[in-house]
Amino acid sequence: MSKAVPLPVTRLIEALSRLPGIGPKSASRLTYYLLRAPDELSHTLAEALSELKSQTRYCSVCYNITEEDPCAICADTQRDSTQVVVVEEPLDVLAVERTGAFQGRYHVLHGALSPVEGIGPEDLKIGELVRRVQQGGILEIIIATNPGVEGDATAMYLQRQLTPLGVKVTRLARGLPTGGDLEYVDSVTLLRALQGRHEM
Amino acid sequence: MSKAVPLPVTRLIEALSRLPGIGPKSASRLTYYLLRAPDELSHTLAEALSELKSQTRYCSVCYNITEEDPCAICADTQRDSTQVVVVEEPLDVLAVERTGAFQGRYHVLHGALSPVEGIGPEDLKIGELVRRVQQGGILEIIIATNPGVEGDATAMYLQRQLTPLGVKVTRLARGLPTGGDLEYVDSVTLLRALQGRHEM
């Protein structure tokens, strides 16, 4: 970069540019915003960043991100431990929690099967899920992997692994998104909605 | 936030949400990306953030952000010290430097006059610019404040302050942006382009 830019500024711009969705332009704008903002903001950010990894770990039961092991959901005796929603990422747990409609437990795979990216079953928390089911007490595994090629492949793989263990394996319904417009729905979604039609 | 989210995660999401252009959703996505990314990334970011303010200061000549005082541009004896481009923000210095067409010096006002936001001349580095001109050696002040109401007001104010000091005060040309489409140009820009038309 030009010598009009001091090194600490360049360093932050470069670090921010490595984040997804933040290009060099947004990175500069954020950096110069931080320069003008009160010291407290960059200080808070720096502290939150250093504590993010040092003060969190994976829950040894569900592999969600947590401060305490087991996590708050796994430790909550009020929740139904017979139902487990299986998701790809920790953010998906949040999405399901926001519906307020699920009172069971979770299992975070930390990805989906992807031959293209070389991600196999051993790279995901699948063995851990199988062992959880083998320990007993789980009646239903609700697969909530993403509705796409990799999520579908992962769901199929899990179904084949888990059904022999005598557990009920279900998957989230596919169809039209609520609030969407039929005209703009892609044909795969529409096909799945047709296939999944039910009597009223 | 739900108890599915550990405190260090919430803290980073909240801190990131305070940045311009980053809403709660992007903040969550960035945070969970950092959780999955190598420790080195969040460490580099945290370090760059803490060094951003501690290792930079304002240049005592031009008020650009710098590590060394005076800044690299003010210290560069190869550059023409008779011409000074006046800009609102440090990022504007970069924009002018990128043209490669200016070999003079800069002056950063750190804002523009704005009665609405209560920003008066004493809140900007205007007195400092006046003193720079009074010290002599500057032949032309090129005002490059933003082409809008506040930038225009600031330009007018500067022109009234500086012209009596015997310095030439110019302003960047206004007109059609290169590569734009006449059909989509706003009417104010088109008006300024018409007013500024020149013989070919």
**Looking at this predicted complex, what is its ipTM?**
0.74
- For residue A138, being part of any structural domain is answered with yes
Q: What is the pLDDT of residue B169?
A: 94
**Residue A177 has what DSSP assignment?**
P
Nearest in space to B86 (alpha carbons), one of B134, B137, B122, B138: B138
Q: Which chain A residue lies closest to B26 (C-alpha atoms)?
A: A21
Q: What is the pLDDT of residue B13?
A: 93
Query: How far apart are the CA of A90 and the nearest CA of chain B, in angstroms?
Result: 8
Query: How many whole angstroms separate alpha carbon B135 and alpha carbon A86?
Result: 71
Contact A56, B9 (CB under 8 A): yes
> Do both B86 and B47 map to the same domain?
no
> Do both A85 and A158 map to the same domain?
yes
- For residue B51, being part of any structural domain is answered with yes
Q: What is the pLDDT of residue B3?
A: 65
- Compute how many other C-beta atoms are within 10 angstroms of the C-beta atom of residue B111: 18
Q: What is the CATH number of the domain that holds A114?
A: 3.40.1360.10
Phi, psi of B156 (to 5 degrees): -60, -45
Tens digit of pLDDT for each residue in B6-33?
Answer: 889 999 999 999 999 999 889 999 998 9
The β-bridge partners of A171 are A143
Secondary structure of residue A7 in the 3-state scheme:
helix
- For residue B188, being part of any structural domain is answered with no
Confidence category of residue A188, pLDDT binned at 50, 70, 90: confident
Q: What is the pLDDT of residue A20?
A: 93
Query: How far apart are the CA of B140 and the nearest CA of chain A, in angstroms?
Result: 21
Contact B146, B112 (CB under 8 A): yes
Residue A102, domain extent: 79-171
> Do both B166 and B87 map to the same domain?
yes
Asked if A48 and B3 come within 8 Å (Cβ–Cβ), the reply is: no
- For residue B200, being part of any structural domain is answered with no
Joined together, the tokens standing for residue B190 give: 């088109």
Asked if B52 and A34 come within 8 Å (Cβ–Cβ), the reply is: yes
Nearest to B53 among A42, A64, A89 (CB): A42
- For residue B30, being part of any structural domain is answered with yes
The whole-number average pLDDT for the span B64-90 is: 94
Nearest to B67 among A6, A73, A89 (CB): A6
Tens digit of pLDDT for each residue in A157-177?
Answer: 999 999 999 999 999 888 888
Distance of CA A82 to the CA centre of its chain: 21
Asked if B110 and A50 come within 8 Å (Cβ–Cβ), the reply is: no
Asked if A46 and B42 come within 8 Å (Cβ–Cβ), the reply is: no
Q: What is the pLDDT of residue B160?
A: 96
Q: What is the CATH number of the domain that holds B29?
A: 1.10.8.420
Query: How many whole angstroms separate alpha carbon B123 and alpha carbon B119?
Result: 6
Chain B residues inside the 8 Å CB shell of A44? 15
> Do both A43 and A85 map to the same domain?
no
Nearest to A67 among B6, B16, B64 (CB): B6
Chain A residues inside the 8 Å CB shell of B32? 65, 89-91
- For residue B70, being part of any structural domain is answered with no
The whole-number average pLDDT for the span A4-20 is: 90
Q: Which chain B residue lies closest to A29 (C-alpha atoms)?
A: B91
Q: What is the pLDDT of residue B65?
A: 92
Confidence category of residue B88, pLDDT binned at 50, 70, 90: very high
Q: Report whether the peptide linkage leading into residue B90 is cis, meaning its omega lies within 30 degrees of zero.
A: no
Tens digit of pLDDT for each residue in A34-76?
Answer: 988 899 999 999 999 999 988 999 999 999 999 999 999 999 9
> Do both B89 and B149 map to the same domain?
yes
Residue A126, pLDDT > 70, answer yes
- For residue B60, being part of any structural domain is answered with no
> Do both B36 and B87 map to the same domain?
no
Kindly report whether the global pTM for this prediction surpasses the value 0.80.
Answer: no
Tell me the CB-side half-sphere exposure of residue B150, using CA atoms within 13 A.
Answer: 17
More confident residue, B36 or A179: B36
- Compute how many other C-beta atoms are within 10 angstroms of the C-beta atom of residue A95: 12
Asked if B67 and A8 come within 8 Å (Cβ–Cβ), the reply is: yes
- For residue B180, being part of any structural domain is answered with no
Q: What is the pLDDT of residue B124?
A: 97
Helix (H) / strand (E) element for B41: namely helix B39-54
Confidence category of residue A3, pLDDT binned at 50, 70, 90: low
Helices (H), chain A: 7-17, 24-36, 39-54, 72-75, 90-99, 126-134, 149-162, 187-195
Identify how many contiguous H helices and E strands chain A contains and give both numbers: 8, 6
Q: Report whether the peptide linkage leading into residue B70 is cis, meaning its omega lies within 30 degrees of zero.
A: yes
Chain B residues inside the 8 Å CB shell of A65? 6, 9, 32, 35
The whole-number average pLDDT for the span B103-112 is: 95
Please report where in the chains the tokens 């013989």 appear, as a residue. B199
Query: How many whole angstroms separate alpha carbon A184 and alpha carbon B94?
Result: 43
Nearest in space to A89 (alpha carbons), one of A62, A69, A115, A71: A62
> Do both A121 and A47 map to the same domain?
no
Chain A residues inside the 8 Å CB shell of B26? 21
Q: What percent of chain B has pLDDT over 70?
A: 98
Chain B residues inside the 8 Å CB shell of A31? 52
> Do both A51 and A88 map to the same domain?
no
Contacts of B154 (CB under 8 A, 6+ apart): B88, B109, B112, B113, B124, B143, B145
Confidence category of residue A2, pLDDT binned at 50, 70, 90: low
Q: In total, how many domains does chain B have? A: 2
Which site among A45, A87, A88, A119 would you substitute to test the B interface, given the most B Cβ atoms closer than 10 Å to its Cβ? A45
> Do both A93 and A142 map to the same domain?
yes
Residue A1, pLDDT > 60, answer no
